[in-house]
Every structure is written in structure tokens, then in C-alpha cells.
Structure 1
């Protein structure tokens, strides 16, 4: 009997599915009375507009966007240098697909390894620092003057727009830590310069 029950249930489901198209409605059919979702959203937006809630939310969103623009989230995992160190980084990459020219010709084959510094030199050294630390800002300004402006300041934390206005020069931000992770930088201030076919990275002691 225990084996028979699943078999009967299976047969019943098959018969029901096969004969479903032959069944007629057993009662009156009524239209769905639920309100359209878009109408609900529109009504809520109109209500928020009348109450001023919509305008308040828009102002709050604009303030959050402005704050994020003026001071992006600091790069996680990058700390102030305690022990200075120097190391080198090889920027060579292995192509996972062929690099083609304007006419479709293969310039570099897939699987080949190339160093960008063999083609173009680093135009100017890069200086990574945290603008939330007044000592690092002071040290960065000194280094910028020593290099006669030929230095690219890149923040890992702090308000880069404010610093740009103060210094009257371009200041960049390492969004999401893409550059520091790529270069292996874990402490700042850090100065990146070209050393032949490699990049030399100096994590500098913070000056008082």
C-alpha cells in the first residue's frame, strides 16, 4: 500500500494536467481589484510632494552626494608610515588577448608580456598621502615645492577639493584604493618614481 500511494498521486497529477484545458469555470469571474503598482507609487510621490517630504529627501541626497564628492571614503588598509621602506614594482602585464592596431593588425600577441615603461616613461613622480594628517599635508607641500610642481599629489584620505583650492594645483584621490593596491602601498606618505624599467616606491617617515 505504501508503494501504491505515490503511484496513484503521480497518475492523478498527470490526469489533472492533461484534462485541465477541458474544465469550465465553475463560478462567475471578477476583474482584479488590486490597485496598479505604478499608480500606488505615483500617489505616494504626490503625497510626499504636497507634504514637502520629497523636497527634503532630495536635499538630503544632494548633501550626501556633495559630501562624498568633497571627501571620498578613505582608502582602507593604508596607514601612516612607522618604519620607512623602499621596494620596487614591475608594471609588466601579460596580455590575455591580442592587441590590435587601427587596421586590425596584431601589434602584440595574446600571452606576450610587456612593460609599459618600455613605451612611455612616468611623466612625473606620484605622491600618496593622507590629507587628514596635518603633518603629511605639510610634508607633501614641501616635496611639491622641491620638485618645482612636477609631482602628482594623490590622496588616500581627506578633502582633495579643499586642498586643491588651497594649493591652486591639481590634487587627485585614489578612489577605492585601486592604485595603492596595484602598487602594493600599505603606508603613506609614499613617493613613487621611475627607476629604469621598474617603479621605485619609498614609504617615507612622517616629519614632525
Structure 2
């Protein structure tokens, strides 16, 4: 009995999902890995200038032990920089994505509809929040909040409209593909039903 109730709840939750909404957990996970890759790549590219300095020091140091120590220190520092960049990049992009899609889904649930205004409002609120937590004076933070709110809405409104239009086109294509198969199933069922009726009539005779 409990299993039946759980299955009914799951079906109802799936049915309530509005078209165009994005899975919060999946989007956040992808954003974390993307941020880690970007942050690590950025720090690895910035380490090229540091490697040039180490090469110059190696050329001016005849002692093998000193050269080994310089190489080891350079590799350790590079590893630390790349690791720190990966973690910071993953956390930043993951937090931004989680806040954006979480707020977007919350607005869709409260309003009962998912449209471009949900996307614009979520982008504006998320950008304003991150502008507020940036370091600086109170005046500087207020400026960041205002700019974040305006830029977030300006960027997310057309992107959200494009995303919803693409989802609408995909759904229309899926419905168009599913309609002929449904007709064929209905025809095949009617054909089988007619054959059964003819068989019953012949048996009754």
C-alpha cells in the first residue's frame, strides 16, 4: 500500500514539472565541474610566466642540488595554484548556478507557469546578490547590486526567451512524431478488433 502511494506521489511530481524548467542538481553539478576546469586552466596558463623565472634561475645556478630544489618548489607551487584555482572556480560557478536555477524553479512553482519573466527575475536577483557579497565599501556594493540587477535581467531575458522557444519547438516536434504512431496503433487495434468480431460471428453461425 505504501509503495503504491509513493509511486502515485512520484508520478504526480513528475506531471507537475513545467516544460522548460531545468533540473537544479544536474545543472549545479555540471557548473561545478566546468568552473573547476576553467579555474584550473586559468591558473595553469598563468604559471607559464613563473616557469620562465624558474628557468632563468636554473641557468644561473650551477649546483645540482639547488636546481633540484628550485624545480621541486616550482612544481609544488604550480600544483597548489592550479588546485586552488580549480576549487575556487568550481565553488563560484556552482553557487551561482545553484542560486539561479533554484530561484527560477521556485518562481515557476509559486506562479504555476514558467516563462521568460522567471528567468529574468532569477538572473537579476542572483547577479544582485553576488554583487552584494563582493568586497568593497557600502557605496561600492550598492553600485554592484544595481549593476548586477540590471545586467542580469538584460542578459537573461533574451536568453530565457530563446531557451523557451527552443523547448517549445522540440515539444512540437515530439508531438508531431508521436501522433502518426498513435494513429497506427489505433488502426492496428481496430483491425484486430474487427478480425475478432468476424471470428465470433463465424463461430456463432
Do these two structures clear the TM 0.5 threshold for a shared fold by scoring above it? no
TM-score (norm 1): 0.19
Higher relative contact order (CA 8 A, sep 6+): 1
Q: Larger strand proportion, structure 1 or 2?
A: 1
TM-score (norm 2): 0.19
